[in-house]
Amino acid sequence: MKKFSLIIICITGFFLLTILPLQAEQSDNYQENLKKWQQMTPEEREKIKEKFQEWKKLPDNEKSELRKNYRRFKSLPPETLISL
């Protein structure tokens, strides 16, 4: 029983040490995104809502492919991005 308790404590500690920094980062992103959203015009907000509705309708495989392409695009060096 002591081994089981020790394992649970270790797993919980590991979980907290890995998840809490991610939550802080997500919280920062949330605050930044909220600020951007509040600064948008109603037309800009509506356009984003429409794009999101389109995104939700896409099949999972297409979403996955788009995410992969986005990550690849974001990893390009700045000089390559400028030339696009």
Give tens-digit pLDDT for 7-58. 666 566 555 556 655 555 666 788 888 888 899 899 998 998 999 999 899 8
Q: Same structural domain for residues 1 and 18?
A: yes
Report how far residue 30's alpha carbon sits from residue 32's, in angstroms, rounded to the nearest whole number: 5
Report how far residue 34's alpha carbon sits from residue 24's, in angstroms, rounded to the nearest whole number: 15
Domain hosting 54: range is 41-84
Q: Do 55 and 63 form a contact (C-beta atoms < 8 A)?
A: yes
Q: Same structural domain for residues 82 and 45?
A: yes
6-17 pLDDT tens trace:
566 656 655 555
Q: Same structural domain for residues 34 and 57?
A: no
Q: Same structural domain for residues 32 and 45?
A: no
